[in-house]
């Protein structure tokens, strides 16, 4: 019975996310006819795709009760090195992309090792890592911007197969993969167990260190992939291009109903969050609001979603096992 109620409430959060997308899209069509033209829908899906790509990593990390603040600069580093090394030559991407994804995996692994083995709080570890990566990138580029993106990256980010953007296909593939991993593999179950209660998971035989390192590796790789796609979309790379994606990734996860404390949620929800944010971002200029409004909206959305989900659950202190035990013993 409790399982049924819980699964219902979780799905309700996700349904709410998709409902939000529909309502916002209809609102867009009302204030500006043509908002739901197929071309513009493709634009919305593409801009949501970048949020979804960083969101998949953030979802995995947040499901274990962590957070990854290093996403923007990993993304930026990947974009800059892509343009720097390829010099517009798509053929070179055959070795550049594996190197970028591998490098990002190493950065993620270091984050994970810091959190899992050295017991550094995730915010601090990934904040520190973010600064290290930023500093490293600034040193390499000497503060200048990158070069033009190779054609294959542009193709990935902007080309359409008929009415379907290539990026939408990639997004769908990521969606299927993430959902299968989370819902139907032993790793997925271990991940949820770790997020629900590390200590109990460890007692139950889950290698929580391995799970933790793995999710940060996934987040690093996803951020690097987003960087490649974003460089293709913009046509070049520049410093600071990753900045909006910290708030966006967390906001998408929060709208998608994933608990910030970990242990419940999935990427189907984050997908709704990414779509909602993309529609919202397109809606604001139509309403005559400056781009600055987007940051305010991100903040309000995160606050609203988190407050709602905590009100729904009504038991926000799950992370502190000892406090919970003490309360029960009293």
CA atoms 281, 299, 253, 28: torsion sign = negative
Task: Name which of 157 and 301 has its Cβ closer to another protein.
Answer: 301
The set of long-range contacts for 281-286, using a CB threshold of 8 Å and a minimum separation of 24, is 281/47, 282/28, 282/35, 282/40, 282/43, 282/44, 282/47, 283/24, 283/27, 283/28, 283/31, 286/28, 286/31, 286/32, 286/35
Q: How far is the CB of 279 from another protein (least distance, A)?
A: 18
CA dihedral 113, 115, 118, 120 (to 10 degrees): 150
Task: Name which of 89 and 317 has its Cβ closer to another protein.
Answer: 317
Closest among 53, 162, 68, 152 to 110, alpha carbons compared: 68
Task: Name which of 14 and 110 has its Cβ closer to another protein.
Answer: 110
Q: How far is the CB of 243 from another protein (least distance, A)?
A: 8
Token look-up 């720097």 returns 84
Task: Name which of 135 and 235 has its Cβ closer to another protein.
Answer: 135
Give contact residues for another protein (rule: CB under 8 A).
Answer: 67, 114, 118-121, 123-125, 127-132, 134-136, 138-139, 142-143, 243, 247, 250, 254, 260-261, 290-300, 302-303, 306-307, 310-311, 316-317, 320, 322-323, 326-327
Task: Name which of 107 and 167 has its Cβ closer to another protein.
Answer: 107
Q: How far is the CB of 126 from another protein (least distance, A)?
A: 10
Q: How far is the CB of 302 from another protein (least distance, A)?
A: 4
The pair of structure tokens assigned to 243 is 């900045």
Task: Name which of 232 and 244 has its Cβ closer to another protein.
Answer: 244
Q: Which residues contact 317 (CB under 8 A, 6 or more apart)?
A: 323, 324
Q: How far is the CB of 119 from another protein (least distance, A)?
A: 7
User: CA-CA distances (angstroms) from residue 21 to 48, 276, 283?
Assistant: 11, 5, 12
Q: How far is the CB of 170 from another protein (least distance, A)?
A: 27
Token look-up 């709208």 returns 255
Under 8 Å between Cβ of 278 and 51: yes
Q: How far is the CB of 6 from another protein (least distance, A)?
A: 20
Q: Which residues contact 264 (CB under 8 A, 6 or more apart)?
A: 6, 10, 63, 192, 195, 196, 258
Task: Name which of 187 and 238 has its Cβ closer to another protein.
Answer: 238
Q: Residue 318 and residue 308: Cα distance in Å, rounded? A: 17
């Amino acid at each position: 019975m409790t399982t049924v109620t819980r699964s219902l409430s979780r799905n309700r959060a996700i349904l709410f996310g998709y409902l939000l997308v529909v309502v916002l899209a209809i609102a867009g069509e009302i204030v500006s006819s043509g908002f739901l033209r197929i071309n513009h829908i493709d634009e919305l899906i593409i801009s949501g795709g970048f949020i979804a790509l960083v969101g998949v990593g953030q979802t995995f990390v947040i499901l274990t009760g962590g957070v990854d603040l290093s996403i923007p600069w990993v993304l930026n580093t990947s974009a800059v090195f892509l343009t720097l090394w390829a010099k517009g030559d798509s053929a070179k991407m055959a070795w550049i992309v594996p190197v970028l994804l591998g490098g990002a995996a190493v950065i993620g692994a270091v984050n994970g090792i810091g959190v899992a083995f050295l017991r550094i709080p995730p915010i601090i570890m990934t904040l520190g890592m973010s600064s290290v990566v930023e500093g490293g990138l600034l040193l390499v580029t000497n503060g200048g911007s990158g070069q033009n993106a190779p054609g294959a990256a542009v193709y990935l980010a902007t080309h359409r197969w008929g009415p379907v953007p290539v990026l939408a296909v990639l997004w769908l593939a990521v969606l299927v993969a993430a959902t299968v991993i989370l819902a139907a593999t032993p790793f997925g179950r271990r991940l949820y167990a770790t997020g629900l209660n590390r200590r109990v998971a460890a007692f139950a035989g889950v290698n929580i260190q391995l799970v933790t390192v793995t999710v940060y590796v996934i987040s690093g790789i996803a951020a690097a992939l987003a960087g490649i796609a974003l460089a293709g979309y913009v046509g070049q790379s520049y410093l600071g291009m990753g900045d909006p994606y910290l708030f966006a990734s967390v906001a998408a996860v929060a709208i998608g109903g994933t608990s910030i404390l970990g242990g419940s949620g999935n990427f189907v929800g984050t997908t709704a969050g990414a779509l909602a944010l993309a529609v919202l971002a397109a809606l604001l200029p139509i309403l005559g609001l400056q781009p600055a409004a987007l940051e305010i909206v991100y903040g309000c959305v995160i606050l609203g979603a988190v407050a709602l989900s905590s009100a729904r659950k009504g038991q926000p202190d799950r992370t502190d096992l000892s406090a919970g035990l003490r309360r029960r013993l009293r």
